[in-house]
């Protein structure tokens, strides 16, 4: 009889403990990577130099999309690393920056002080950021040569992680 009670209590408590462990083991603010292995939402945006860029026209090589803003302090930590990575991979990888909720004037001012080797696009209505499920900046995505979203890094991306992403893609292509 006692054993039966123990078994019943275990059957009730174990799923609850499991559920709590699952819930407390997750960051409730972490936005899931819903676009993984899905076609990258296409966009056509204006560059700071006055031209336009269309994502689907960059097919054939991996594209690193970095959402950033001049008011974003953590974005400054990764800026130099992204420039170096873009120079290192050269023509084999396309790097682009998409400006998130910022003014063109502030972005120009920032880029005058911090040189950039790749184009930066303006997203004045935040529609591209929403298309990618952005929950803040910085946030970086990797779109493969076929236009499929493969990686996402919420927050500051490390050089090591970016290298792993790109070496995996370039090695497999």
Q: How far is CA 5 from CA 18, 54, 61, 62, in A?
A: 20, 65, 62, 59
CA distance 173 to 170: 5
Which lies closer to another protein via its Cβ, residue 1 or residue 115? 1
Which lies closer to another protein via its Cβ, residue 133 or residue 159? 133
Three-state SS for 76?
helix
Report the b/e string of 72-105 with b at 16+ CB within 10 A.
Answer: beebeebbebbbebbeebeeebbbbbbbbebeee
As measured in angstroms, the least distance from the Cβ of 38 to another protein is 8
As measured in angstroms, the least distance from the Cβ of 79 to another protein is 22
As measured in angstroms, the least distance from the Cβ of 173 to another protein is 27
Beta strand residue intervals within the chain, DSSP E: 44-47, 52-54, 63-68, 94-99, 120-122, 139-143, 149-154
Which lies closer to another protein via its Cβ, residue 13 or residue 117? 13
As measured in angstroms, the least distance from the Cβ of 113 to another protein is 24
Which lies closer to another protein via its Cβ, residue 67 or residue 95? 67
Instruction: Please count the residues of the chain.
Output: 173
As measured in angstroms, the least distance from the Cβ of 97 to another protein is 18
Q: Which residues are near another protein by CB under 8 A?
A: 12, 19, 31-35, 38, 101, 125-127, 129-136
Which lies closer to another protein via its Cβ, residue 7 or residue 130? 130
Give yes or no for a contact between 12 and 124, defined as CB atoms under 8 angstroms apart.
no
């Amino acid at each position: 009889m006692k054993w039966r009670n123990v078994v019943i209590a275990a059957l009730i408590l174990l799923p609850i403990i499991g559920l709590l462990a699952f819930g407390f083991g997750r960051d409730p603010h972490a936005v899931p990577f819903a676009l993984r292995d899905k076609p990258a939402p296409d966009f056509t945006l204006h560059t700071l130099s006055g031209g336009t860029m269309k994502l689907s026209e960059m097919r054939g090589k991996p594209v690193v999309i970095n959402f950033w803003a001049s008011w974003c302090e953590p974005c400054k930590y990764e800026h130099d690393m992204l420039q170096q990575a873009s120079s290192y991979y050269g023509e084999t990888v396309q790097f682009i920056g998409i400006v998130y909720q910022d003014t063109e004037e502030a972005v120009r001012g920032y880029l005058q002080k911090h040189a950039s080797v790749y184009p930066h696009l303006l997203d004045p209505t935040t529609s591209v950021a929403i298309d990618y499920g952005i929950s803040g900046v910085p946030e970086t995505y990797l779109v493969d040569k076929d236009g499929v979203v493969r990686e996402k890094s919420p927050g500051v991306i490390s050089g090591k992680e970016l290298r792993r992403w790109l070496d995996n893609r370039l090695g497999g292509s």
